[in-house]
Structure 1
Amino acid sequence: MADDASSVDTETDTPASDRSLSSRLLAAVERTGNALPEPVTLFFIFIGLTMLISLIVSALGVSVEHPRTGEMIAVESLFSGENIQRLFTDMADTFADFPPLGLVLVVMLGIGVADKSGFIGAALGSFMRAVPNALLTMAIVFTGIMSNMAVDAGYVVVIPLGALLFYGAGRHPLAGLAAAFAGVSAGFSANLLPSALDVLLASFTEPAAQIMAPDYAVTALANYYFIAALVPVFVIAGWVVTDYVVEPYLGDYEPPEDLEDDMDTSEESSALEKKGLRWGALSMLAIVAAASLLVIPENGALRGPEGGFEPAYEAIVGLMVVIFFVPGLVYGIVTEQITKDKDVTDMMSETMSDLGVYIVLAFAAAHFVAMFGWSNLDMVVAITGAGVLETLESSIGLSGIPLIIVFILVSAFINLFVGSASAKWAIMGPTFVPMLMLMGYSPELTQAAYRVGDSFTNILTPLLPYFPLIIVFAQRYDKKAGIGSIVAVMLPYSIVFGVVSTLVLAIWIFFGIPLGPEAPLFIDTP
């Protein structure tokens, strides 16, 4: 890969200073990234380090005073007989009780049918082809952002389609690819609708918050107002960067001689696909309408005893399954992708198979999170870290927005080396959520700051699982495209998306705007 990047850098029309910057950045990221093991291995390494640290720290008799109860909390060795016994006797329960596991598996059953039947890809393609050329860039970025409802579908569907649409419009296809990649990946946390990511992150944030406040609840809508507001911001930012920075940088496009011979540019949906889309969309609207009747009336089935919306929040996972499953099923039946019940079972099975790596990761993460708590290191680190931050606050005034910006930058840097949002949050959440709670910052705010940092550097790291696929898409239009050329065109998006999303969060904090329904920015210190 490094050789590909080098050859591209020396043969493009990119100014030497830009080539030098992108090459140095690429080399540093690639060298560091290649030195790291896989995320699953990382978690087992973290488990080993946690066990060793707990042994040493407990032997030193380290303890801290809980700021709320005054109780002295001491570190417990994970090599003690009690903890060794708990590790083996509770192994199955530790894994099965891991909060994200069941939620993700259930949601993906519904999304899997919509994806495997072709409904999601057809819907995205139909939407983008209906957009006028003047709005093409914004439509691609918007569609990329919204595709995150289907988790990884955007990488496979929207990004190559963005390049194809730009090529068909007589524009540079790599600019279309870059716009789509920015929407799908740099705008990963923005959406007009809740997605599986909201469920996943909340399921990590809630137990982290309960370290300090046992009854604290974090819903899947904890950041909804904020992530919805980011959508138009990212769409406009993506349009400006694409049309006024990336396309001029790429210059005029000269297609390879064999491109037009082997490329199918007839992307019009067949009559059967259009019929399937119509019935699928109608079924989705029917499900949404039915769900609204369960939520909107005060006596609805998904309202609480006193008219509260708590049951509706808790039902989001189940509703998402139905909202995706039914249109996918209808589309599949109409287009004859589904002809018997076994087809549906096969689609669900294939989706679960695709989640195999996640399940292995969840096993390792579940035990790391659990053992970190068994040792009391989570409480000790949180209380100590809060004390350090409070010292910084009193000595140099590091608090409020500057403190959150520092946290965003830390998250963005770690994201260069650990691509999985859940893997990073499983590590960072149990430490930073309680730490910032002790300083009066809500878990919802910490989660929102993490989401900002977790997104805008996705498009710069070759450690992103889909990065090799992006290069393959790019090489369809430019045989010399490599990692360096992708990083070079994506760097402006990363900088701009990082700046604008941090600025939006700063505005949120400054004006005290709630991050979501019943999701405050600040809390009373536990």
Structure 2
Amino acid sequence: MQGSGSPNSNFESSANSSRMQRFLKGVEWLGNLLPHPVILFVWMSVFLLILSAILSYFRVSVIDPRPADTADRSADGMIYVVNLLNGEGLARIIENLVTNFTGFVPLGTVLVALLGVGIAEHSGMISAAMRSLVMNAPKKMVTLTVVFAGIMSNTASELGYVVLIPLAAMIFHSLGRHPLAGLAAAFAGVSGGYSANLLLGTVDPLLSGITQEAARIIDPAYVVGAEANWYFMIASTFLISGLGYFVTEKIVEPSLGKYNPNDAEDASVLDNQIEKVSAIEKKGLIWAGISMLIFCGLLAWTIVPADGILRHPETGLVSGSPFLNGIVVFIFVFFALPGYIYGKITGSIKNNQDVVDAMSDSMKSLSIYIVLVFFAAQFTAFFKWSNLGSVMAVAGATFLNDIGLTGPLLLVGFILICAVVNLMLGSASAQWAITAPIFVPMLMLTGYAPEMIQAAYRIGDSTTNIITPMMSYFGLILAVAMRYKKDTGVGTLMAMMLPYSMIFLFGWTVLFCVWVFVLGLPVGPGAETFYPAR
């Protein structure tokens, strides 16, 4: 019978809720102690320089694990910490400050990919596609479709937060369901499923570039492509969609109960009409879809045949081919071409100036990212020049091997560390730029490939996005929630999203372990599981 239960059980439930609230408030307080990621990189770079001088003075070193014929291996087979605060070190910093920035791999790849996404977003194609997908879904499939649409929206950066989450709340209310359940389902897909997708987006070249820079601390010639986690991302899309559906239908919506319209901050929000996809938008989507299919067909013609022109010229394989090496170019065209066609049909793009404006607007949104990259690039370079990355990697790998921590348990521990760090440092690029130079070399020396390490990181980074107020759009989501329930607070929103976070983390980690350690599948095209490959 609903509402029944002993006083003790009610007391225990209240106590558990209170403890959870205190925990979440504690996370928020700790996160607020951290400076802006840009300032964090500045202070960490300064700390790293000072640390290099101190450790160099005490001749801190480790045994070099690289082969004896390695070009830069020292005569005594040791890796020493290099002082970056002496005359030679300061000269190197000054001479390379600009090239560290311009040569930082993620910078160019993200800029190119975002140019194409900017055209598709500015034309309205992505927004119309999301609205069409969600609004045309059968009632029984609305929840699943909302979560899936949230995951897919990640290719267009913030569009899922701005468009889909408010839309999902409105759709759920129009169906007589609790609007916060729709908001939660969309938020779970957009943010909790951040690293799952059927398509490659701007985050893929960003993370792979940082991974590549970190991997080159151990192997200077190592290359990590934007497609490094594509296979695992595709499988993760279906897993997170299913888990998001289950949590919404079985846990979150029942706990919210029946919606009371009097809870709304402003009653007018309940009268908002959902903007349906117009006939001209449908026509634009059809022709945009046709252009996508034609483009994909042309790409298939260049790589599927054994003599395809974009296969590797020597081996004839797709691995290491111009197709994979230039995948960012294809991401650009994949979004730019249909976006342009959609815009011409709907009238949102009238001339070439509109195309230029669309790309310019997409670059404006990257202003803070470019500032962040400048300092992240310096931090990464200092880490490499000082040999601190190599020393920490060898020492950490030796410790892990000595205690016998390898296999699934090691990677599960790494995922959990990333999930906890993400609670206080919500930016995926900032967190990975800080942690990759430490963990990627370390785990490489324990025998795992950078591509697989990156896939593990992305699980931890995604699953706690939805319960940390440090996530950049958390305030926006809270504002939308308060429209429908005026007493919604930070703790309320966190508690509502916590079941998604826990179940996503558990389910995604299980999938990762089964994928890698049981089935032995690669996480992406040409991606290795072990380093060196065996």
Name the TM tier (shorter chain).
over 0.9
Q: 1:60 is aligned with what amino acid? A: F
Q: Does 1:180 align with 2:191?
A: no
Matches within 5 A, 1:331-370: 331-370=342-381
Q: Deviations over 1:233-259 (max 9, x none)?
A: 111111111011001110000124753
Determine whether 1:286 maps to 2:297.
no
Mapped contact 1:439–1:525 kept (Cα < 8 A): no
SS class of match (2:79): strand
Q: Which residue does the alignment assign to 2:8?
A: none
Contact preservation (8 Å) 2:269, 2:484? no
1:446 corresponds to 2:453: yes
- 8 Å Cα contact 2:113/2:201 also seen in 1: no
> 3-state SS of the aligned residue for 1:476?
helix
Matches within 5 A, 1:121-136: 121-136=127-142
Question: 2:117–2:336: 8 Å Cα contact kept in structure 1?
Answer: yes
**Which position in structure 1 is the counterpart of 2:27?**
29
For the residues of structure 2 that align with 1:260 and 1:360, how far apart are their CA atoms?
40
Match of 2:73 in 1: none
SS at match of 1:90: helix
State whether residues 412 and 454 of structure 1, in contact with CA within 8 Å, keep that contact through their aligned partners in structure 2: yes
CA contact (8 A) 1:437 1:525 kept: no
Q: Is the 8 A contact 2:180 2:484 kept in 1?
A: yes
| Alignment pair present for 1:499 and 2:497 | no
Q: 2:148 and 2:361 mapped to 1: Cα distance?
A: 28
Aligned to 2:307: 299
Contact residue 247 and residue 499 of structure 2 kept, 8 A? yes
Counterpart CA distance in 1 for 2:526 and 2:304 is: 17
Distance 1:334 1:81 in 2: 62
- Find the aligned partners of 2:440 and 2:38 in 1 and give their Cα distance: 23
- Give yes or no for contact 2:449–2:529 (8 Å, CA) kept in 1: yes
The counterpart of 2:50, out of the listed 37, 49, 52, is: 52
Moved more, 29-38 or 338-347: 338-347
1:502-524 superposed Cα distances (whole Å, 9 cap, x missing partner): 11111123322222222222233
Structure 1 residue runs without a partner (length 5+)? 1-13
Residue of structure 2 equivalent to 1:410? 417
Aligned CA distance change for structure 1 residues 104 and 261 (closer, same or farther; 3 Å)? closer
For residues 457-492 of structure 1, what are the alpha-carbon distances to aligned partners after superposition, in whole Å with 9 as ceiling and x for unaligned? 000110100001001111221122221111011000
Q: Match of 1:513, SS?
A: coil
Other-structure match for 2:18: 20
Contact 2:45 2:379 in 1 (8 A): yes
Q: Which amino acid aligns with 2:186?
A: A
CA contact (8 A) 2:84 2:386 kept: yes
Which structure 2 residues correspond to residues 125-524 of structure 1 after superposition, within 5 A? 125-256=131-262, 258-260=266-268, 263-305=271-313, 306-309=315-318, 310-393=321-404, 398-511=405-518, 512-524=520-532
Q: Is the 8 A contact 1:58 1:75 kept in 2?
A: yes
TM-score, structure 2 normalization: 0.92
Deviations along 1:26-72, one digit per CA (max 9) or x if unpaired, are: 21011101111000000001101000100100011111111223621
After alignment, is 500-509 or 249-258 more displaced?
A: 249-258
**8 Å Cα contact 2:445-2:531 kept in structure 1:** no
Query: Kindly, what percent of the aligned residue pairs are identical?
Result: 47
Tell me by how many angstroms 1:525 deviates: 8.5
Q: Structure 1 residues 275-284 or 375-384, which shifts more?
A: 275-284
Amino acid at match of 2:244: G
Letter aligned with residue 235 of structure 1: S
Match of 1:99 among 95, 102, 105: 105
Instruction: Work out the CA distance in 1 between the residues paired with 2:296 and 2:479.
Output: 38
Amino acid at match of 2:468: T
Q: Distance in 1 between matches of 2:246 and 2:276?
A: 28
The letter for the 2-side match of 1:58 is S
Q: Which runs of 4+ in 1 moved over 6 A?
A: none
Measure, in 1, the Cα distance between the counterparts of 2:89 and 2:386.
Answer: 9
The DSSP-based 3-state class of the residue aligned with 1:211 is coil
Shift of 1:370: 0.5
User: Residue 67 of structure 2 corresponds to which residue in structure 1?
Assistant: 69
**CA 1:262–1:143: 2 relative to 1, 3 Å:** closer
Partner in structure 1 of residue 6 of structure 2: none
Instruction: Report if aligned partners of 2:397, 2:442 keep a CA contact under 8 Å in 1.
Output: yes
1:113 deviates by 1.0
> 1:33 is aligned with what amino acid?
G
SS in 2 for 1:64: strand
Aligned counterparts of 1:240 and 1:262: Cα–Cα separation in 2: 26
C-alpha separation in 1, matches of 2:509 and 2:269: 45
1:302–1:315 CA contact under 8 A, matched in 2: no
Cα RMSD (Å): 1.7
Contact 2:123 2:339 in 1 (8 A): yes
Shift of 1:219: 1.9
Question: Secondary structure of 2:403's match?
Answer: helix
1:321 is displaced (CA, Å) by: 0.4
Q: Cα distance, 1:18 vs. partner?
A: 5.1
Q: 1:92 to 1:241 in 2, by over 3 A?
A: same
Q: Cα gap change, 1:178/1:266 in structure 2, threshold over 3 Å: closer, same or farther?
A: closer
The gaps in structure 2 that reach 5 residues or longer are 1-11, 69-76
Offset at residue 297 of structure 1 (A): 2.4
The verdict on how the C-alpha distance between 1:261 and 1:128 changes in structure 2, with shifts beyond 3 A counting, is closer
**Structure 1 residues 111 and 34, CA, compared in 2 at 3 Å: closer, same or farther?**
same
SS at match of 2:424: coil
Distance 1:491 1:166 in 2: 20
Number of matched residues?
A: 509
Which is worse superposed, 453-462 or 471-480? 471-480
One-letter amino acid of the structure 2 residue matched with residue 251 of structure 1: G
